[in-house]
Structure formats: C-alpha cells, structure tokens
Structure 1
Amino acid sequence: MIEIVVERNSNHTIHSFSMSGHAESGPYGQDIVCAGASAVSLGAVNGISALCNIELDVDMSDNGGYLRCTVPSHVSGRVFEDVQLLLEGMLVSLHSIAEEYGDYMTIAENQGGE
C-alpha cells in the first residue's frame, strides 16, 4: 500500500509530504496506481522546479518506494503561493486516485505547529 502523509503548518500551508510503500495493484510494470501516484508527485516536484525556479528538499530511495519533499524555509511571497498552489493541485490529483483505488493508497494530513 502507498501511504502518503502531508504535513501542514499552523497556517494550513503544506510544509512537506512523503510517500512510502508500493501499491501492488498489478504486476511489476503494470501497476497503474503506483504509476499514477508517482507521476503526479514527481510531476509536481518537477513543476515547482521549472515554474517557480526553486528546488524542494527531496529525499528519495534508490529503489523506489519512498519520497519525502519539504518546502525550504526561505521560500516566501509570490513564489511560496505558487509552490502551495502546485502542491495543493498535486494533493487533489492524489485524492482522486485514492477515491478510485483506496485499497492501494491512503492519504493522511497532519496539522503541525510551524
């Protein structure tokens, strides 16, 4: 199962997100849940890099199955708003996948104090 955890600051903005596990909804190379979740999350990370000209702090396993991304603390103003919009869009897409394939993916959102 893919477990997604979104960490939000006290102002409800996304501070970080992590994805771990494998959906195992189909044979290797044909797992559409894993492929969809990976495409959405990596697309958001790449979109932030290309469109906002910043790099998220990324930790990823070499063999797949783990991704953690954190918004750097120095990001502010309009760029921060754009990053948040792209991350919220990612989350909408992930929720759409989870609605259809809830047996293979969970999403939890935690409210932090930062």
Structure 2
Amino acid sequence: MIGITITRTKSGLIQSFEISGHALFADRGKDIVCAGVSAVSVGAINAVHELTGITPDLEHRADGFLRCVVPEELPENTNEKIQLILEAMAVSLRSIEEQYGKHIQITFKKQEVE
C-alpha cells in the first residue's frame, strides 16, 4: 500500500508531504495507482518550481520514498501560489484514494506549533 502523509501548519497550510510504499495494484510498469500518485506528486513539485521559482526541500529514494517540505518565510503571494498547487495535488490524491482505497491511504497531520 502507498502511504501518504500530508502535514499542515497549525493555521492549515500544507507544510510538507511524504509518500512511501508500493500500491501493488499491478505488475511493475503497469501499476496505474503508482503511476497516478507519482504523476500527481512529481507534477506538483515541478509546478511549484516552474511557477514560483522556489525549489522545495526534497528527499527521493529509489524505493519510492518521496518527501517534500515547503521552505519557511516565503513572500505571501509566493506561498499562496504554492498552497494552491499543493491543495490541487491533495484533491487529486484523494480522488485516487476514493477509487483505489485498498492500495493508497492518505493521512493528514496538523503541527501543534508553528
């Protein structure tokens, strides 16, 4: 199963997300759940960079692990753009979860302190 954790700040902004595991929906190279999650998450990271010039703090491993952390203290208009992109990512991932819930689980966490 693919596990996704989306962490929000106390005020509700997406601060980071982490993806790990494998969907095991189909054989490697034919797994549409894995492909969908990869396309949505990597597409969001690419959009953040392309549309705002900001490169989030990233960790990516060959085993499918991906962690993305939004930099702190960004200009308000830049942060608004990033949040819109990441919220769209979250909507897309929830859509995949609704359809393929046996293969993907999303957890939302909220930080206690900002």
Instruction: Identify the residue that residue 26 of structure 2 maps to in structure 1.
Output: 26
1:56-101 Cα shifts (integer Å, max 9, x gaps) = 000110x141000000013231000000000000000000000000
Distance 2:91 2:71 in 1: 22
Distance 2:101 2:79 in 1: 31
Runs of 4+ in 1 over 3 A off after TM superposition: none
SS in 2 for 1:68: strand
Instruction: Identify the residue that residue 100 of structure 2 maps to in structure 1.
Output: 101
* 2:32 equivalent to 1:40: no
Gaps of 5+ in 2: none
* Letter of the 2:56 counterpart: L
RMSD over aligned Cα, in angstroms?
Answer: 0.7
For normalisation by structure 1, the TM-score amounts to 0.97
Q: How many residues align?
A: 113
Instruction: Identify the residue that residue 87 of structure 1 maps to in structure 2.
Output: 86
SS in 1 for 2:4: strand
Distance 1:46 1:83 in 2: 11
* Letter of the 1:71 counterpart: V
For normalisation by structure 2, the TM-score amounts to 0.97
* Letter of the 2:21 counterpart: G
Identical amino acids, percent of aligned pairs? 44
SS in 2 for 1:109: strand
Distance 1:34 1:64 in 2: 12
